[in-house]
Amino acid sequence: MSDKIKLVFAFLLLAGGIAGYYLLADHATALRVIAVLVGVISSAVVASLSEPGGQFVAFSRESWAETKRVSWPTRKETLQTTGIVFLLVVVIAIFLWIVDASLMSLVKLLMGQGD
């Protein structure tokens, strides 16, 4: 039950930060942005203190650690793969254009509107 209360309180803090942005309409933009940031940060802190929030934080840390273990492709490999993808897109587009033009000609011929 306390987790639900924490999450509701976090939502209220977030809503308060957003409401602060609109309530401070006649103040400087920096102050309005600070109000939103305070609402977002405080709601994130309160939400992280709940069980689901703690699980999300743990998952985020594990995900970040996993991205460090990934073997990323080199620049050369990335450019080669991108080039192959673009080449295949062009080839498939040309193929589909030929099929479409052929089918259109066939339909015109069958309908008696031949060239």
Question: Would you state the structure tokens that stand for residue 92, as one six-digit string?
Answer: 């498939």
Please report the DSSP string for 5-71 in residue order: HHHHHHHHHHHHHHHHHHHTTTS-HHHHHHHHHHHHHHHHHHHHTSHHHHHHHHHHHHHHHHHHHS-
The average pLDDT across 13-31 equals 91
Please, which residues have CB within 8 angstroms of residue 15's CB and are 6 or more apart in sequence?
A: 39
pLDDT exceeds 70 at position 114: no
Single pTM value for the model: 0.56
> pLDDT value at position 112?
85
- pLDDT tens string 81-104: 999 999 999 999 999 999 999 999
Residue 1 CA to residue 7 CA, distance in Å, equals 10
